[in-house]
Amino acid sequence: MTKTSLDKSKIKFLLLEGIHPSALKVLHDAGYTNVEALSGALEGEELKRKIADVHFVGIRSRTQLTEEVFAAAQKLVAVGCFCIGTNQVNLNAARERGVVVFNAPYSNTRSVAELVLAEAILLLRGVPAKNAAAHRGGWLKSAENAYEIRGKTLGIVGYGSIGTQLSVLAESLGMQVVFHDVATKLPLGNARQAASLDDLLAQADIVTLHVPELPSTHGMMGAREIAAMKPGSILINASRGTVVDIDALASALREGKLLGAAIDVFPVEPKSNKDEFSSPLRGLDNAILTPHIGGSTMEAQANIGLEVAEKLVKYSDNGTTTSAVNFPEVALPAHPGKNRILHVHHNVPGVLSAINLVFAENGINIAGQYLRTDEKVGYVVIDLDVESSALAVEKLSQIPGTIRCRVLF
Ligand SMILES: NC(=O)c1ccc[n+]([C@@H]2O[C@H](COP(=O)([O-])OP(=O)(O)OC[C@H]3O[C@@H](n4cnc5c(N)ncnc54)[C@H](O)[C@@H]3O)[C@@H](O)[C@H]2O)c1
Ligand SMILES: O=C(O)CC[C@@H](O)C(=O)O
């Protein structure tokens, strides 16, 4: 009798970077018990050796999944980024190998927005410098350069999930909001879209960055842009470390051009809590430096654990790719009593007809078929009788253009 269910204990998960235990619970509850969870990131040969043997890997922002790493990950079928950003993953290298990448696009949005607002208030009051002085025995009781947040203009660069959440919270504190985005966005509340980044920089008392890491955002706050900010204004970056020229920022803080800065993300971040943090900003009392913890709250991490683990389970159980970041999205029904074949192929003419020819020529009846494509990849899901699946997989795997073909039981 052909098996209708795979022993889930044979499916290996590797979770890195201290992913919240909520993810483990989801996996265990779904029957996936072969899970190794490590608290740190892996890199180099150690990462390649570990990933060679696993079907699913879970990471946060530190683990770099490069072309070379994917080449070593022969069994890998999906990656879960337990965070928002996916810049640490070579998404094309994954897609070309039929590896689906998921993330949690909204789970830590609120946590980042709250941190940014808190930092804005503290910097406007000069608290970081006063706090640092007090720790050294100083007493800086003064209202000089201390301001309320009410009535100030917040300039949000990148009006996406975090930017818009922040916009609403900032207005509730009596701020005016101006934003800059490459796309035309519907302003929430009384927010206004600036004509350009320079237009925003000329108006904002606080500039906060919420853009993804892209070639176009690399160094977007350089020496010229920092010089274009209002004298005595504040820069906050909780997006990615490549967006700000840190040397230019350090000079602006030292020279008193800016009142302060809060930086959560850095061009080079320590690999673990045991490694030393180096930055030209160290020692500047008017800079709040945080170790990439914008999304690190118990609430956000627990939600992210659930969300991404559920996406991995759905993909493993029935092939659903809804909200994948690099792959055609298909929401699939259950397939009781049938086997399900997942066929990933290059999106070139002729593959689909070749697939259907296999069924016609071999007299295999199709119980259900689903297709989605993007510009590079086609994803066909076929439900069929249990007895026919071995032959079908063998034949479908031989079709030119096939990237990957496997059966779910
Ligand atoms: N510090 C942290 O812990 C933390 C937590 C979550 C997210 N992040 C970072 O924050 C980024 C933003 O998150 P999000 O959920 O708001 O993303 P999002 O995709 O919802 O929004 C990003 C916005 O930036 C805009 N944008 C892209 N390129 C731009 C450019 N060159 N100039 C102006 N606008 C541009 C987009 O149009 C979009 O509106 C993430 O990509 C991630 O890197 C950091
Ligand atoms: O948890 C992390 O390591 C990254 C958090 C944040 O940068 C994100 O992209 O969600």
pTM of the model: 0.94
pLDDT greater than 70 at residue 5:
no
Question: In the structure, what pLDDT confidence band is assigned to residue 1 with cuts at 50, 70 and 90?
Answer: very low
Helices (H), 157-230: 161-172, 197-203, 223-228
Q: Which of 167, 239, 293 to mutate to test the pocket of ligand 1 (most atoms within 8 A of CB)?
A: 239
Distance CA 172, CA 158 (A): 20
Give the DSSP H/E element, type plus range, for residue 15. strand 13-15
Q: How far is ligand 1, taken at its centre, from the CA of residue 306, in Å?
A: 22
Q: What is the DSSP string of 319-377?
A: ---TT-SSS--------TTSEEEEEEEE--TTHHHHHHHHHHHTTPPEEEEEEEE-SSE
Question: In the structure, what pLDDT confidence band is assigned to residue 271 with cuts at 50, 70 and 90?
Answer: confident
Q: How far is ligand 1, taken at its centre, from the CA of residue 144, in Å?
A: 34
Distance CA 398, CA 159 (A): 46
Distance CA 150, CA 145 (A): 15
Which ligand is nearest to the Cα of residue 266, counting in written order? 1
Over residues 380-384, mean pLDDT: 96
Sign of CA dihedral 57, 58, 61, 63: negative
Residue written as tokens 């071995």? Answer: 390
Burial letters 92-131, b for 16+ CB under 10 A, else e? ebbbbbbbbbbbbbebbbbbbbebbbebbebbbbbbbbbe
For 328-377, what is each residue's pLDDT tens digit? 999 999 999 999 999 999 999 999 999 999 999 999 999 999 999 999 99
Classify the complex by whether its ipTM is higher than 0.90, answering yes or no: yes
92 or 409, higher pLDDT:
92
**Ligand 1: lining residues by beta carbon, under 6 Å:** 84-85, 108-109, 112, 157-163, 180-183, 210-214, 216-217, 238-240, 264-265, 292, 294-295
pLDDT greater than 70 at residue 108:
yes
Which are the catalytic amino acids?
240, 269, 292
Distance CA 200, CA 194 (A): 6
pLDDT greater than 60 at residue 242:
yes
Amino acid 49: pLDDT = 98
Question: In the structure, what pLDDT confidence band is assigned to residue 4 with cuts at 50, 70 and 90?
Answer: very low
Is residue 209 within 8 Å of residue 119, measured between CB atoms? no
Residue written as tokens 């350069």? Answer: 145
Q: How far is ligand 1, taken at its centre, from the CA of residue 214, in Å?
A: 10
